[in-house]
Structure 1
Amino acid sequence: MKINENTETQTPNRGLQNRHIQLIAIAGTIGTGLFLGAGKSISLTGPSIIFVYLIIGALMFVLLRAIGEMLYQDPSQHSFLNFVSRYLGGKPGYFIQWSYWLVVIFMAMAELTAIGTYINFWLPQFPIWLSEVFVLALLTALNTLNSKFFGETEFWFGMIKIVAIIGLILTAIILIFSHYHTGSNTVSLTNITHNFHLFPNGISKFFESFQMVMFAFVAMEFIGMTAAETANPKPTLKKAINQIPLRIILFYVGALLAIMSIYRWQDIPADKSPFVMIFELIGIKWAAALINFVVLTSAASALNSALFSTTRNLYSLSTINGDKILKPFTKFSKSGIPINALFFTSLLIFLTPFISMIPAVSNGFVFITSVATNLFLVVYLMTLVAYLKFRKSPDFDPKGFILPGAKVLVPIAILGFGLIFISLFFFKETLVPAIGSVIWIVVFGLITTFRKAKTVG
């Protein structure tokens, strides 16, 4: 299928500034998986969890450089998924684009559910569903203004997360140099290196930690979509992506080193946030409330980003697939926002409070969101395959934003993501969601295969 990128004379408003993109890129590498899930990750394999973060961080960097190279060559694309259609064909493109749109919708629903739970921490008598409706309405309203307001919202959401991480790292540094004692233990880097073992709980636990860390990184590719919303996307895209390795080392590895320097990793409970423990240690008695605030803003940030990206994806799908039923989603507001796409996306996410009100389906909802997360791996794999096709196409620009060593690194990344996906079938917590994702791939794949192809342009 030949894609015509000029099917619409209007394009989304480019209202994001460089400072928005840079901070969104920083905060995009920090998720609730770190704030709430660090304890469980550390309990699986101890200090060697750092190697897991570095390995998956490297795989994600290869993916982002591949996406960045394609977007740099054609910054008019408002979704990197369009390249799957361009280089793999209409049917794979149709499958991956709608799959990605749906999984992000499910993730947004999960984040909204989390927001309701976090607000309930302070307002236990306030109905969770009502707080969910209020937050969704507020973020939808902000997204109707223009992309600048999205950028400002994400800027301050991201700032809160960054301050929390830096506060943790600075606290660890101060405690290390003051030889602070936590019970019978002294705060020191030797807590990490003493009696170090690569597989302290066995090799199976080491590999089990990969899927947990992978979940902390999904949606980092969102930076590619935000770059399309800047007035000068090419230099902004290069800077944002090239700084990601430093950010992974600083925020993820730095935070983990800080946590395991303060407490022996064997003493960190799997079911409690290490951040709460550390802030309580330095005398912040309301540490639980502080971390609740941080994860609340983190979830709100994820929901805000999901609204932004799914709106742009729906607009993109509506322009390139040529279906008349999708024509209304190409309409723009005076602010340059795909307004109908935004409202429809919000309407789907609005189903969340009703799901939350039915206890009988809560487990099913968790299952669906887990399946959605697994499908990110499928998206990543197909994107990298499309990139390999791009490198062999006339569109490839050897003077562009080139991924060094692509012939070696991209196959390694494909192998890495593939092995992580396969590993999901070997652990109890991920087996059922993994099977569910396979069911989705087969069923929607068949629908796509027998769908009558439309030629656009």
Structure 2
Amino acid sequence: MKSKSVQQNDDGTLRALSNRHVQMIAIGGTIGTGLFLGSGSTISKTGPSVILVYLVLGGVFYLMMRAMGEMFYADPSQHTFVSFISKYLGHTVGHFTGWTYWIGLVFVCMAELTAIAGYVQYWFPKLPAWTIELGFLAILMGVNLIAARLFGETEFWFAMIKIFAILAMIATGIFMVLVDFKTPLGHASFNNIFHNFTLTPKGGYNFISAFPMDFFAFLGIEFISITVGEAKNPRTIIKKAVNETIMRILLFYICSLGIIMCIIPWTSLSASSSPFVQVFDLAGFPAAASVINFVVLTSAASSINSGIFSAGRHFYQIATEVDPDSLMGRTFGKISSNGVPAAAILLSAGCMLITPLLSLTATLASAFSFIVSVCCDMYLIVYSLAMVAHRRYRVSDDFLPDGFKMPFYKVTNTATIAFFVVIFISLFFIPQDAIAATGAICWTLLFGVVNWWHGRKTSQARSVE
């Protein structure tokens, strides 16, 4: 039973998410295993220049969120940014974006589910992976089915664990610098960052390739926009979340990476292990590996939790845009009595049940990894379409002159789209990414051909009638 203080939307969803929920969902959705595990690889390739890479990427994502935030401020009743793509770019483009984004969410969640099994097996190596995956999926699906507020509360504490780990590492690092802590690699010092500094220490190729590599560390930042439709005081929250969250994320990334390079000279940093574990090991904390394993476990669970929430809302959005009398419209275009799109959540989580089958053969596992890479590349297309939709919004009758406006949108919107295009093109010059980028283009063309064929058949049927 819903609280009297919780407002109900016209479609039956409830505005149960508070500002603290939305803020932590945004931070937690972006700070993931890429920072805790993968940042060592980036630092080893770019050195201190990695800070510049994150500054540029943070700025671009801030502009993207300002564009999305402006549209949601004008119409906070929408559940996903895809609804604006449908509204301003047409039903076909919106349909493509909705399906593409939903499929991407499902596969990314499946990848995280696979990772969770590995994290748990770190402590319990004999526990079958499929039982771990089913157990986590069942729990997180249940969290999403009960109520949006429970999802928000769960995400809040998941995010708190990640933030606590980052702050603990930063505090440890600062202490080591202040006391001139001596490690087998030398003395901890701020000078380690600038010693023999060059912008491209391992060549221009490694520096440029760091942008697409670190770009994917920011995937998920748009989750804050997806929570707006179920947030209390949505217009106040969206402004606060967009303006403050990106700065907090940059603070966490830049401070943590800077402290890591103060403790461990970047030339001595191992690219194959977590830099957080390396720092805590040097500080004399023997349980570092287990603690960071727990943090990345909760980080992966957080990603799945947010993914199920988002995938359910996106599939619900797709279902509301088809014929309401169709099987899909009748089944998935409805909200349950407790204010969530239960059928859409069940379908999305149900598709993730395929995950335990992927470990059966190496061929399936390789194919799955390829599909995940394709889905990640598709986000670049989805983000670009959202920016184009924003341009259409600015010249539409819906535009609010006194709204939460994107600054200098004619320049900043164009620059953001151009950046996404450049990142996508750069993928073709990176051997391990070129095939997946080609797959993303093939998916786009295939969807267009199928949609054209379906439209042609529908027109022919109507002409016969």
Q: How high is the TM-score relative to the length of structure 2?
A: 0.94
Which stretch has the larger CA shift, 17-26 or 213-222?
Answer: 17-26
What is the aligned partner in structure 2 of residue 409 from structure 1? 412
What pairs up with 1:384-423 in 2 under 5 angstroms? 384-423=387-426
What is the aligned partner in structure 1 of residue 41 from structure 2? 40
Q: Secondary structure at the match of 1:350?
A: helix
What is the aligned partner in structure 2 of residue 180 from structure 1? 181
What is the aligned partner in structure 2 of residue 99 from structure 1? 100
Q: Distance in 1 between matches of 2:267 and 2:312?
A: 44
What is the aligned partner in structure 1 of residue 51 from structure 2? 50
What is the aligned partner in structure 2 of residue 162 from structure 1? 163
Instruction: Call closer, same or farther: CA 1:445–1:207 in 2, change over 3 Å.
Output: same
1:356 aligns with 2:337: no
Which stretch has the larger CA shift, 244-253 or 72-81?
Answer: 244-253
What is the aligned partner in structure 2 of residue 243 from structure 1? 244
Q: Distance in 2 between matches of 1:226 and 1:275?
A: 31
Which of 432, 447, 455 aligns to 1:452? It is: 455
Unaligned runs of 5+ in 1: 1-7
User: Does the 8 A contact of 2:29 with 2:306 survive in 1?
Assistant: no
Which stretch has the larger CA shift, 312-321 or 125-134?
Answer: 312-321
CA drift of 1:356 comes to: 2.4
Q: Distance in 2 between matches of 1:321 and 1:67?
A: 24
User: Does the 8 A contact of 1:29 with 1:247 survive in 2?
Assistant: no
Q: Distance in 1 between matches of 2:198 and 2:251?
A: 23
Unaligned runs of 5+ in 2: 1-8, 459-465
Which of 338, 342, 350 aligns to 1:339? It is: 342
Q: Secondary structure at the match of 2:140?
A: helix
CA drift of 1:237 comes to: 0.8
Q: Distance in 2 between matches of 1:43 and 1:378?
A: 29
Q: Secondary structure at the match of 2:122?
A: helix
User: Does the 8 A contact of 1:40 with 1:271 survive in 2?
Assistant: yes
What pairs up with 1:60-209 in 2 under 5 angstroms? 60-209=61-210
1:429 aligns with 2:432: yes
Which of 327, 333, 344 aligns to 1:325? It is: 327
Q: Distance in 2 between matches of 1:245 and 1:188?
A: 28
CA drift of 1:235 comes to: 0.2
Q: Distance in 1 between matches of 2:102 and 2:246?
A: 27
User: Does the 8 A contact of 1:168 with 1:275 survive in 2?
Assistant: yes
Q: Distance in 2 between matches of 1:257 and 1:294?
A: 20
Q: Secondary structure at the match of 2:206?
A: helix
User: Does the 8 A contact of 2:187 with 2:263 survive in 1?
Assistant: yes
Q: Distance in 1 between matches of 2:235 and 2:276?
A: 37
Give the counterpart letter for 1:322 in structure 2.
D
Q: Secondary structure at the match of 1:243?
A: helix
Deviation per CA, 1:392-423: give whole Å up to 9, x if none. 11111110001111111111111111101100
User: Does the 8 A contact of 1:103 with 1:373 survive in 2?
Assistant: yes
Q: Distance in 1 between matches of 2:454 and 2:112?
A: 32
What is the aligned partner in structure 2 of residue 367 from structure 1? 370
CA drift of 1:325 comes to: 2.4
Q: Distance in 2 between matches of 1:63 and 1:353?
A: 35
Deviation per CA, 1:88-136: give whole Å up to 9, x if none. 1111111111111111111111111111111111111010011000100
Q: Secondary structure at the match of 2:14?
A: coil
What is the aligned partner in structure 2 of residue 300 from structure 1? 301
1:29 aligns with 2:30: yes
Which stretch has the larger CA shift, 290-299 or 440-449?
Answer: 440-449
User: Does the 8 A contact of 1:225 with 1:309 survive in 2?
Assistant: yes
CA drift of 1:9 comes to: 4.8
User: Does the 8 A contact of 2:25 with 2:223 survive in 1?
Assistant: no
Q: How high is the TM-score relative to the length of structure 1?
A: 0.95
CA drift of 1:333 comes to: 2.2
User: Does the 8 A contact of 1:94 with 1:448 survive in 2?
Assistant: no
Q: Distance in 1 between matches of 2:361 and 2:431?
A: 26
What pairs up with 1:229-308 in 2 under 5 angstroms? 229-308=230-309
CA drift of 1:370 comes to: 0.7
Deviation per CA, 1:138-188: give whole Å up to 9, x if none. 111111110010011101110000001111111111111111111251111
Task: Indicate the RMSD between aligned Cα atoms, in angstroms.
Answer: 1.5
What is the aligned partner in structure 1 of residue 222 from structure 2? 221
User: Percent sequence identity over matched residues?
Assistant: 44
Deviation per CA, 1:213-271: give whole Å up to 9, x if none. 01100121111011221121110111010013321331111111010010100000111
User: Does the 8 A contact of 1:17 with 1:230 survive in 2?
Assistant: yes
Give the counterpart letter for 2:104 in structure 1.
V
User: Does the 8 A contact of 2:49 with 2:200 survive in 1?
Assistant: yes
User: Does the 8 A contact of 1:143 with 1:150 survive in 2?
Assistant: yes
